[in-house]
A and B are shown apart, each in its own frame.
Chain A
């Protein structure tokens, strides 16, 4: 049941991204990346790994890139962020940490995406991408919109967490 609630929440987030934000020209944005970062900071390893993996697969399915490319990039971002958060930063999460984590994760995601695209190219599966376009136009816009939507996604995550966490019976 808990897994179903989290899966549905990711799916709804993806529909909001494609069905609401894109028509409003609030794009490019990556709500899945934001929720993955929020999960790294606030949830345990298993839940945040599950969210990142499922979100990555959903994004892979709807994107025009070969399957696995987005998921692998997201997973590596997740692992890097997880180890940085656990070894360098304190566990008391502040909004500053959250916003800087989202910014760092967005930049890292773009770089890793391009690297994995090159790697996929060795298998004959890459998508022709313009590196200069992605780094000079797409990345700044994504960074801006991701930061703009970080707080709403955080509130969404906390709301879903309330639903997904089984309430303890008080006798």
Chain B
């Protein structure tokens, strides 16, 4: 008997037809409610799994790190003092900025309208850098809205919407391209995700001066993101005089591996 007349072939053929149907239904967004329910159940299991794993890992890591606690504490205290000084200086600058803007009749910078969300699960396959949050279109979320960790550190944007959940694509995913600006020099370029490896700042003209440690923020040139959201810091430069543009590696400001509570900018 030829293979195409066998029961096995019919079974496989039927499965591929059903899969094709699934692809169409998913692309049209008809699976939203089913996925919502699945994300809740799976997210519940994953959250508890992560908590249990973290507890065990923290217990063991404490044993190994206990000898370094004194020096770490001293370093952190020094960092707190530095940041307190920096904070006071920035507050003073902000006050000055507000009064100057008022004097010049500039439009006041609006504060963000933040909606708190919780992470249900992240992509365990490793093919994409995405995660699922617990609010969706019924909470007035929209596609391409920026997702941040407080205070204003960008981690990604909403790329898929379901009624009660949404998919967030992280900055490190190659699907994400953001107009960015280096704070000190004002150099502008494009931030691209390089999977889990970090970010690259590309298309910066050769006459711009960028150095390691410079902070990179959203430039606000595209409509997707407001200006001033912190993306990360320049970690390394990769440019040669023969190339038309400079390229730099940027390490994200947020720890993208341990995300739990986030905010969506509406």
* Chain A interface (Cβ < 8 Å from any Cβ of B): 11-12, 14-24, 27-28, 30, 45, 49, 53, 57, 59, 61-68, 70-72, 75, 79, 113, 120, 123, 125, 127-130, 133-134, 137-138, 142
Would you list which residues of chain B between 128 and 185 have a CB under 8 Å from chain A?
128-130, 159, 167, 169, 173-175
Residue in B closest to A120 when the chains form the complex, CB atoms: B23
Residue in A closest to B34 when the chains form the complex, CB atoms: A61
B115 within 8 A of A: no
Residues of B within 8 A of A19 (CB): 45-50, 52-53
Closest CB in chain B relative to A75 CB, distance in Å: 7
The residue from B12, B16, B128 contacting A65, defined by CB atoms under 8 A apart: B128
Nearest first, the 3 A-B pairs at minimum CB distance are: A19-B49, A64-B130, A28-B126
**A63–B173 Cα gap in the complex (Å)?**
13
A138 B46 Cβ-Cβ under 8 A = no
With A19-B49, A68-B19, A71-B19 known to touch, is A63 a contact of B26 (CB < 8 Å)?
no
Q: Which of B70-78, B104-112, B117-125, B240-248 contacts A (4 or more CB under 8 A)?
A: B117-125
B54 A23 Cβ-Cβ under 8 A = yes
B interface SS class: helix
Residues of A within 8 A of B126 (CB): 27-28, 138, 142
Chain A to chain B contacts (Cβ below 8 Å), 7 pairs:
A61-B38, A61-B39, A62-B42, A63-B125, A68-B26, A138-B127, A138-B195
**A130–B173 Cα gap in the complex (Å)?**
10
The residue from B27, B39, B50, B194 contacting A66, defined by CB atoms under 8 A apart: B27
Residue in A closest to B169 when the chains form the complex, CB atoms: A64
A64 B53 Cβ-Cβ under 8 A = no
A72 B121 Cβ-Cβ under 8 A = no
**A28–B19 Cα gap in the complex (Å)?**
25
B80 within 8 A of A: no
With A15-B45, A19-B49, A28-B126 known to touch, is A130 a contact of B23 (CB < 8 Å)?
no
**A107–B121 Cα gap in the complex (Å)?**
26
Residues of B within 8 A of A125 (CB): 23, 27
Residues of A within 8 A of B194 (CB): 130, 133
Residue in B closest to A142 when the chains form the complex, CB atoms: B126
Would you list which residues of chain B between 10 and 45 have a CB under 8 Å from chain A?
11-12, 15-16, 19-20, 22-23, 25-27, 31, 35, 38-39, 42, 45
Residues of B within 8 A of A127 (CB): 127-128, 175
Residues of A within 8 A of B167 (CB): 64
**A8–B173 Cα gap in the complex (Å)?**
31
